[in-house]
A and B are shown apart, each in its own frame.
Chain A
Amino acid sequence: MIDVIYIERELDDHPRVRAILERYPQATRVPCNRYTEVFNPKSQNFRLQKSRPALILARKHDGFVLDAPANYAIGGTRNHYFSHMLNCVYDCRYCFLQGMYRSAHYVLFVNYEDFASAIDAALASSGPGCAWFFSGYDCDSLALEPVTGFAEHFLPFFAARPNAWLELRTKSTQIRGLLGRAPVANCVVAFSLTPERIAHAVEHRAPSMEKRLDAMLRLAEKGWRLGLRFDPLLYQQGYREHYRQMFQQVFQRLSCAQLHSVSLGSFRLPRSFFRTLQRLYPDEILFAGPLEEHAGMVSYQKDLERQLFDFCANELLQYIPEEIFFPCQPR
């Protein structure tokens, strides 16, 4: 539920803004000049705002398409990301967005057409061959789909550009729009998964593993390409059993033929983000774990990180071929 909507004044007449406001007739509307006036001030507490985040409707002016971080690749060599939205409806305790932003409000950039132009420009400037565009870096790609119409807008766009690959990364079950149209051959719908009981402890408000698997199966039946993202791997006493059970549960229902890619990543955060998260949640077990700092990043102690990663990689490779496995190697 969204009770407060901030709207950049210049967007009052934007059709996407009008459609969203019609959806929330009871919401308090607050005009602002730029979203940064609301989103960036210092004296804000992400944890408190998360209990009632507002929606900010804004225009993005630059930086529409950026280079994806190293190791983000799933087979491509030219990797970009773009963020039509900042922040997420879920409340995953490990999420770096809590450390990166001061505000938990959802910022929705409504000028999709400018993103599309920038994607075309990136595609043209990177020469022949395929390029990847990741959409779920600063938000969940699908969780607010009924409000944003993001996939509805961008799927036809990518369908018409076969050398541009789109990854929709999500924990959501908002797949109705995808099921209602023909699958897009150059789109991967990638679901993030965590062992069920660990997810229950740290992925607040996110759909259960079963529901995510149900959504994946329905998409697979319709011919959509799927991805699995086991990232971040989280340490817990007896982690082997938790992860073994999860892989069994997943691959009892999904077959390799339905998968485009599987990736694995360690828990790691820039030091400054981690410090912010610790201040926000001093009572969070995840941040009290066996962590250490190395080269400005906080991650599990090296041996432990390696054990956890290798165990999961070995387990996974019992189910999938190496060709679709994209591990984001720890240190």
Chain B
Amino acid sequence: MIHPWVNFVVALPAEAKPIASYFELRRTTPDSGFPLYRGERISLVISGSGKVAAAAAVGWLAAHTQGRTNTIWINVGIAGHRERPLGDAVMAHTIVDRAAERTWYPPLAIQPPVDSITVKTLDQPATEYPTDEAFEMEASGFYSSACRFSTGELVHCFKVISDNRQNPVHGINARLVYQWIGEHLDTLSLLIGRLGALAEPLYASELPPELLDHYRHHWRFSSTQQNQLRQILTRWRTLAQSDLLWLPELRKLPDAKAVIAYLKEYVGALPVKLVRS
């Protein structure tokens, strides 16, 4: 299995710390922007409270991770719900931004590891729980922004219940948040595993960057030619069902234009075998 790229966005340091510890992320100190934790393929940014901060943190982290496509984005945070017990975890199948009067439906292309419910994003902390929904402050900003950098199936909001009718919002503290989030780290790992398995065909169909580097090392390709090269190599790999996408005779060719022309002819002559013998 190819390990996916994962970006976490949380509002509070108390939400970040258990995740960072579990996934062995190291705190880095960027010159500006947001507090950031990084591992080999997992990043976590602390956005601060509110949907605007969450949206900004998503954009900032996307820029920091060079805008990789098909990244898994997860907003982990706390939320209130009228009757769900404290520490219960849910995912959003619907995100409602009450102020903006907008609704999103994150596609559930995997079996969610916890219940999925409607998450309502408010501009202020909720003190009442009028409907059977989770109330919080970041999801809409996070989701609308993250969907600019990845596909909706890989963008999810994971909320842990921090307050309800019996336990109002003023009882929340950092120690409790740390504890509640900490109780769901295996579940988060399971979620990442399922999303990674879902996205695997997308990762597998990407050409290895070192292959393109190899060509670029020998010839100078314009931006258009790089796209053409990528298309031809993808077609070659598909028809040949092989990752060996290099021919010794290419070395003799003088420039990128000649390479593309040669490859076009070579790949065009490959047999089409929908049916493997």
Residues of A within 8 A of B (CB): 3-4, 6, 28, 30-33, 37-38, 41-45, 47-49, 51-52, 54, 103, 105, 197-198, 200-202, 234-237, 242, 281-290
Contacts and interface: CB of A to CB of B under 8 A. Distances in A.
Most buried by A among B108, B111, B148, B155: B108
B245 to A, nearest CB: 13
Contacts of B274: 198, 201-202, 234, 236, 285-286
Interface residues of B, number: 38
Contact of B237 (A6, A28, A283): A283
B167 interface: no
Given A30-B105, A44-B151, A49-B107, A236 B273 contact: yes
Query: In terms of DSSP, what is the predominant structure of the interface of chain B?
Result: mixed
22 contacts: A3-B111, A6-B105, A30-B105, A33-B103, A41-B104, A41-B147, A43-B155, A44-B153, A48-B198, A51-B109, A54-B108, A197-B275, A201-B274, A236-B272, A236-B273, A237-B271, A282-B205, A282-B234, A283-B237, A285-B274, A288-B272, A290-B272
B54 to A, nearest CB: 16
Nearest to A33: B103
A236 B275 contact: yes
Interface string B135-157: 00000000000011011111100
A290 B94 CA distance: 43
Most buried by B among A42, A285, A286: A285
A28 B152 contact: no
Contacts of B154: 48
B204 interface: yes
Contacts of A237: 271-273
Most buried by A among B109, B198, B202: B109
Given A44-B107, A48-B153, A202-B274, A290 B268 contact: yes
Nearest to A56: B105
A286 B274 CA distance: 7
Given A44-B153, A197-B275, A235-B272, A285 B238 contact: yes
Contacts, number: 107
Given A44-B152, A48-B198, A38 B105 contact: yes
A46 B233 CA distance: 24
A55 to B, nearest CB: 12
Contacts of B94: 30-32
Nearest to B204: A283
Contacts of B275: 197-198, 200-201, 236, 242
Interface in B228-276: 234-235, 237-239, 268, 271-276
Contacts of A28: 93, 108, 116
B110 interface: yes
A103 B201 CA distance: 17
B201 A284 contact: no
A283 B206 CA distance: 9
Contact of A47 (B148, B155, B201): B201
Contacts of A197: 275
A281 B202 CA distance: 8
Nearest to B152: A43
A288 B239 contact: yes
B199 interface: yes
A290 B273 CA distance: 12
Contacts of A198: 274-275
